[in-house]
Amino acid sequence: MSAVHTMVYGTYLDLDTGTLGTWADASEPEPPGVGLAEWLEDGADALVEARPTRILGMLLYSSPTGDGLGWFDPGPVYEQDGRRPFGS
């Protein structure tokens, strides 16, 4: 889950279809139409290549203390909070 400009949104797994979708407090849920395995492979490739994911466009950042990781939209706001893009 992420909070950007007070908008809350996230990703969900539709158990009936096995596909992932996104939701936001200001819109109806939207299925991107990818399965869990494809999403996980995209995340693994993004880690290896130190780039944003292709499916959701999220980038992995280290925590300000360096003891944790989190996926966020790429942008300077997280770096201002002391987070660093993973792999940089």
Label each residue of 24-43 as H, E or C: ECCEEEECCCCEHHHHHHHH
Reported as a single tens digit per residue, the pLDDT across 14-54 is 888 888 888 888 777 777 678 989 999 999 999 899 899 99
Question: Quick check: 58 pLDDT over 80?
Answer: yes
Mean pLDDT of the chain: 82
Q: How many CB atoms lie within 10 A of CB 42?
A: 17
Alpha helices in the chain (DSSP H): 36-49, 76-80
The pLDDT of residue 53 is: 92
What pLDDT is attached to residue 7? Answer: 65
Tokens of 71: 């996926």
pTM of the model: 0.69
Q: What share of the chain in percent tops pLDDT 90? A: 16
Q: Is 33 left (phi over 0), alpha (psi -120 to 50) or beta?
A: left
Query: Residue 46 phi/psi, 5° resolution?
Result: -65, -35
